[in-house]
Amino acid sequence: MSHVLTLIADPRTMPLTDAIVSRVRDAVRGTSTDILSPGEAVDIFCADRPDGHDIAAALERAPIDAIATKARGRRKALLVADMDSTIVTTETIDELAAYAGLKDKVAAITKRSMEGELDFAQALRERVAMLKSVPLTDLAKTWERVTFSPGARELVATMRAHNATTALVSGGFTYFTGRVAEALGFHVHRANVLLDDGVALTGEVGEPILDREAKLATLLELAAARNLKIAGTLAVGDGANDLAMVREAGLGVAYKAKPVVAREARAEIVHTSLRALLFAQGYRAAQIVGG
């Protein structure tokens, strides 16, 4: 079989049933199935790449994610992940702005930037300028409120345990990526640098700004460092600045993403967690570290 269709559900809300699996298998003309996690994830093996319209019709709007991959080379040796609204649940710049009473204004710009309506670098400079004089203690307060997306810890730990390189690459700030990387075990983290005078932010960001092209360049650089073909890579993100790396990666995934990303990514997670990225690579529940 040349392709695998992985169905992933949240068993707490709507577990996968035999009826759902059978309906989808018939719709995509699948052959055998393999349960990766009872009620949560199953592989359906197909002779050809399954059609997305057939999958959607068979699912009948059920809150189940479906990711199709080639059967060969499912396991990826490089993970490149966005941070804000992907590995962590919020946009950290918006949360930082809240301490200056500017969350709504900053969040509005963030939203337009992530939807691809604004130039990323220009929008970042504009938002950082609004944070001038914010005390550095507010960075620590913001970090204390950061929460990780469900499945983030398991994703990084499991891929590391299977000798993959894991990289956190963000259009956000190194203050946060460094802490997230340490907490979750990413090998590499890259982001923008907030400038300060030792007491407060200056309203400036270090140049050059890490934008969508820099994210793509990081994917290619890290793949080359491991002598990997691009097919051996996985990239995940939610915003327009993630689109270049998501398009290029062997498995590029839109995670609860803005429409501009969801439309162009080859795979999408809408209903479940980042554990779905492990199931899409063929990992079984028993193989998930920390699961």
- What is the set of active-site residues? 82, 84
User: Among 270, 261, 263, which Cα is nearest to 242's?
Assistant: 261
For residues 188 and 166, the answer to whether their CB atoms sit within 8 Å is yes
DSSP bridge pairs for 37? 41
**What H or E segment, with its residue span, contains residue 127?**
helix 120-129
Report the side by side order of strands in the sheet with 78-81. 188-192, 165-173, 78-81, 233-237, 251-255, 267-269
Q: What angle do CA 189, 191, 193 make, to 5 degrees?
A: 125
Rg of the chain on CA atoms, in Å: 20
Q: Please report the DSSP string for 213-250 in residue order.
A: HHHHHHHHHHHHHTT--GGGEEEEESSGGGHHHHHHSS
Instruction: Identify whether the C-beta of residue 129 lies closer than 8 Å to the C-beta of residue 203.
Output: yes
